[in-house]
Amino acid sequence: MQAGLLTWDRVGELGDLLNGKFLGRSGAAQITLFKNNAAQGVADVAIASKVYSLARANGIGIEFQFRPCLS
C-alpha cells in the first residue's frame, strides 16, 4: 500500500475514535479528519466542545488566538 493512500480499513467513526475502539493518529504528523454530512450545527458545536474539553484536560493540542476578518 502506498504511504498516504486512504482505504476503508483506515476510516472509522468519530464515536469509536473517542471511545478508544478505533485507533486514530499514531504520530503528530498525521491528520484526523472529521466529516459530517448531517448539517446539524448544534451537534457540531456539542462535539467540538467535548473534544476541546478532553484536549484541555489531557494537555494536548495547540491553542491559538483567532481573529475573524470582518471586512
- pLDDT digit string, tens, across residues 8-31: 888 888 888 888 898 888 888 887
For the whole model, what pTM was predicted?
0.39
Q: Is there a contact between 34 and 14 (Cβ–Cβ < 8 Å)?
A: yes
Mean pLDDT of the chain: 82
Task: In whole angstroms, give the CA distance from residue 15 to residue 22.
Answer: 9
Q: pLDDT confidence of 54, banded at 50, 70, 90?
A: very high
Listed residue (41, 47, 52) closest to 15, CA to CA? 47
| DSSP SS3 for 40 | coil
pLDDT of amino acid 71: 65
Structure-model confidence comparison of residues 69 and 55, the more confident one: 55
Contacts 24+ apart (CB under 8 A), 19-25: none
